[in-house]
Amino acid sequence: MSNPPVHVTRPFLPPLEEFIPYLEEIWTSGHLTNGGPMHQRLEAALCEYLGVPHLCLFNNGTSALMVALQALELQGEVITTPYSFVATANAIAWNGLDPVFVDVEPTYLNLSPEAIEAAITENTSAIVPVHCYGNPCDTAAIDAIARRHGLKVVYDAAHAFGVRDSEGSILRHGDLAVLSFHATKVFNTFEGGAVVCHDLEMKQRLDRLKNFGLDGESRLAATGMNGKLNEVSAAFGLLQLKHIDTALEARKKIDTHFRLALEKLPGLSALPRGRQTNDNFSYFPVLVEPSYPLSRDELLTCLAERGIHGRRYFHPLIPDFEHSPFRGGDWPVARDASDRVLCLPIYPGLSSDELDRIVYALREAR
């Protein structure tokens, strides 16, 4: 019998019986959405776990990003990375803003501070960097550029749940930071997301914007959206939080195993982990070097033939998608990485047999 396929990730599901009491509570309260008790408890629990002062839950990371940008009342151009998931640029465009893509730096593939500074014009109002794969951006340099030029910063922290540096959560950087709790993320609520902010006034503004823009029963403060997280998802988040440290530990073991294995596989380089003191091991990106006997796409196919399904995060670059509404450009570092990157499977339920199969397949794929 052939082995079952191994995908790049698998959602983390705690034991079903542990979820039943939460569902019973929801059935008893009859409260299904609109900021109910589970929602309130999850906001408080996440603030505590992440070490952030205020957090506003959303029904997905994309709506969180859209509302975060709306809340800052931006205009004109927003500098961002072409090396990300399309949601980053879509959220900018949804706000009627013009995404200006600039290149990434070669070590962690995060926005290059020099490239940001070179792209600033009198029309620039904000920067949207991505903590790609959970590796923190050069926040000191980016925040300093923003201060110098009077720009807002919204970090797309979709990959960066729980990541900390020596001074605390990396979500404290910028004006706002946005998380995704999509099923495939390190911490999930089926679908979900959040905006982290510094003060209560901003939290209340975000709360209004995600609730249609309503301020009380008869005042419409803005053209808001419906970005509310439902109670079942919020309850699932509370349960996930109980398991998160075990899940992160399991990811760490896989990361360590891959890094050791790759030392003996010339031509395949693991992307280094960055300045974080607490990591989340959300992805395992590998760069296929020119010295490797196969191209990235040949390696992808070769692994798929052995039932190992890696993913090309991030290929193509956002502006290079067919029918993309975004202007093309010259981003040599991002394009080179996009042509050579392959993310290997990493998730808490990955068994040691499966891990061995992946390493064996990498060794054989020559």
Ligand X SMILES: Cc1ncc(COP(=O)(O)O)c(C=O)c1O
Binding site for ligand X (CB under 6 A): 60-62, 84-85, 87-88, 130, 156, 158-159, 180, 182, 193
Residues 245, 162: Cα–Cα separation, whole Å: 10
Pick between residue 180 and residue 240 the one whose CB is nearest to ligand X: 180
Residue whose token pair is 């050791």: 260
Q: Which is nearer to ligand X, 45 or 183 (CB)?
A: 183
Is the CB of 87 or the CB of 286 nearer to ligand X? Answer: 87
**Minimum distance of ligand X from residue 2's CB (angstroms):** 31
Residue with Cβ nearer ligand X (70 or 84)? 84
Strand, coil or helix: 271: coil
- Rounded to a whole number of angstroms, the minimum distance from the CB of residue 59 to ligand X is 9
Cβ 292 to ligand X shortest distance, Å: 26
The distance of closest approach from Cβ of residue 267 to ligand X in the complex, given in angstroms and rounded to an integer, is 27
Rounded distance between C-alpha atoms, residue 104 and residue 82, angstroms: 8
The contacts of residue 311 (CB under 8 Å, 6+ apart) are 8, 342, 343
Q: CB of 80: closest distance to ligand X in angstroms?
A: 10
Q: How far is CA 92 from CA 64, 218, 299, 333, in A?
A: 12, 29, 34, 23
Q: Contact at 8 Å (CB) between 231 and 24?
A: no
Q: Which is nearer to ligand X, 77 or 156 (CB)?
A: 156
61 versus 348: smaller Cβ distance to ligand X? 61
> Which of 61, 88, 8 has the alpha carbon at shortest distance from 282?
8
In angstroms, give the least distance from the CB of 82 to ligand X: 12
> Residue 150: left (phi > 0), alpha (psi -120 to 50), or beta?
left
Nearer residue to ligand X within complex by CB, 58 or 292:
58
Q: Residue 140 and residue 138: Cα distance in Å, rounded?
A: 6
Question: For ligand X, which residue has the nearest CB?
Answer: 61
Determine phi and psi for 251, rounding to 5 degrees: -65, -40
Q: Which amino acid is at 257?
A: H
Q: Is 68 in contact with 195 (CB distance < 8 Å)?
A: yes
DSSP 84: S
Minimum distance, C-beta of residue 70 to ligand X, in the bound complex (Å): 15
